[in-house]
Amino acid sequence: MDQTSNGSTTPSRGTVAVTGATGFVGGHVVRTLLERGWSVRALSRSRDKADPLRERPGVTVVVGDINDAQALSELTRGCDAVVHLVGIIRETRSQRFEDLHVKATRSIIAACRRQGVSRYLHMSALGVDDEGRTEYQRTKFKAEQEVRASELDWTIFRPSLIHGPGGEFTQMMAQWCRGETAPWIGIPYFRRPETEQRVPLGGVDYVDPVVQPIVVSDVAAYFADALERPQTIGEIFNLVGAEQMAWPAMLEYAHERVPHAKEGLKPLWAPADITALQAKVASFVGLGSLLPFDEGMATMGAQDSVSSLERVEAYFEREPASFTESFAAYAGKL
């Protein structure tokens, strides 16, 4: 464990500890907190990933693992609040859902208790459920239960698909639109069977999933807003953009605006049930890493990811941007 600071002595309204600070969402959360006058203590797994953070006035970096009690004690000591963003969408040999979602949440909650930090903001995901079809959804829900069972002044956010410049999904979508990566002949997405009942092969009707993407700057703003609104304590909020879109419509809109997009490319769907089974078999025989998705990603990619804005609008004085509005604003830089 190592701690480094840029030496800034600028007065702030307080200090917020941020896990996952070097990630896509984490970078935007850190930037927004700094703009709001907070100091940030950021956790990074490696010194190399922490380098961009060290250059920002008001940021102190703690290098260490999310399940390292010593590092987390240093991260949270003297802080006014904690923002916990750590999570993964796909498992590897060294990163497991149970460790990064459930165990990590227990670890940061324990650190808050040790250091007397009561305010806690938690990143979950839309569609989490204890009976979810994927391990991702189930472990994300278990992490929420750890938070809700704590004595902390918690707020939980469940975002839909997050997009924005620098985001992994956004970059991949741009590559698909330019024909730079597989499948090269189209822009891929997953469809789900219209019914869960088993029918003979060839007799299945598939439907397009609907998504309500939210731009990353809005996600970061909601986190920062919650710190200023004690009425959000003990509440769970679904974070979505202002616009619901079927996946092919979203991909077609992106294709029209991504620079140097390959002409003639259209959305190209794959059956989620069959594709998920293929991914499961590939993983079983040790070839899962060769695919750009796993069983859970195929399954979740075919599910709707939408929500009402009513609760969010009741607690926050902001309206999220639509996908078409926000994507058009940065698409030219992709």
Alpha-carbon distance 313 to 327, whole Å? 22
Instruction: Using alpha carbons, list the distances in angstroms from residue 63 to 2, 44, 151, 287.
Output: 5, 5, 27, 33
pLDDT tens string 223-234: 999 999 999 999
Beta strand 59-63 pairing with 39-44: parallel
Cβ atoms within 10 Å, residue 130: 10
Q: Which of 45-54, 63-72, 197-206 has the highest mean pLDDT?
A: 63-72
CB-based contacts of 326: which residues, under 8 Å, 6+ apart? 163, 164, 215, 217, 218, 241
Beta strand 81-84 pairing with 59-63: unpaired
Residue 200 has pLDDT above 60, yes or no: no
Alpha-carbon distance 255 to 324, whole Å? 12
Q: For a pLDDT cut of 90, what percent of the chain falls above it? A: 84
pLDDT class of 3 with cuts at 50, 70, 90: low
Lowest mean pLDDT across 3-7, 49-53, 106-110, 287-291: 3-7
Lowest mean pLDDT across 1-5, 51-55, 163-167, 280-284: 1-5
Alpha-carbon distance 331 to 73, whole Å? 40
Residue 276 has what pLDDT? 94
pLDDT class of 12 with cuts at 50, 70, 90: confident
Alpha-carbon distance 211 to 186, whole Å? 19
The two tokens of residue 77 are 């000591």
Average pLDDT rounded to a whole number, residues 37-58: 88
Cβ proximity of 223 and 248 under 8 Å: no
pLDDT tens string 216-275: 999 999 999 999 999 999 999 999 999 999 999 999 999 999 999 999 999 999 999 999
Radius of gyration of the chain (CA): 20
Cβ proximity of 275 and 298 under 8 Å: yes
Q: For a pLDDT cut of 70, what percent of the chain falls above it? A: 94
Residue 11 has pLDDT above 80, yes or no: no
pLDDT tens string 70-123: 999 999 999 999 999 999 999 998 999 999 999 999 999 999 999 999 999 999
Judged on CB neighbours under 10 Å (0-12, 13-18, 19+), 308 is exposed
Alpha-carbon distance 130 to 137, whole Å? 7
Lowest mean pLDDT across 7-11, 12-16, 76-80, 195-199: 7-11
Residue 56 has what pLDDT? 87
Q: What is the pTM of this model?
A: 0.94
Looking at domain 2-159, its CATH superfamily turns out to be NAD(P)-binding Rossmann-like Domain (3.40.50.720)
Among residues 53, 85, 80, the alpha carbon closest in space to that of 66 is found at: 85
Average pLDDT rounded to a whole number, residues 166-195: 95
pLDDT tens string 119-175: 999 999 999 999 899 999 999 999 999 999 999 999 999 999 999 999 999 999 999
Q: With the C-alpha atoms ordered 171, 175, 180, 182, is the resulting torsion angle positive or negative?
A: positive
Task: Check residues 199 and 113 and name the one with the higher pLDDT.
Answer: 113
CA angle (306 as vertex; 169, 311 as ends), nearest 5: 120
Question: Tell me, what amino acid is at 77?
Answer: R
Q: Which helix (H) or strand (E) holds 51?
A: helix 47-54
Task: Check residues 150 and 196 and name the one with the higher pLDDT.
Answer: 150
Where, residue-wise, is CATH 3.40.50.720 in the chain? 2-159
Alpha-carbon distance 40 to 59, whole Å? 5
Residue 4 has what pLDDT? 57
pLDDT class of 9 with cuts at 50, 70, 90: very low
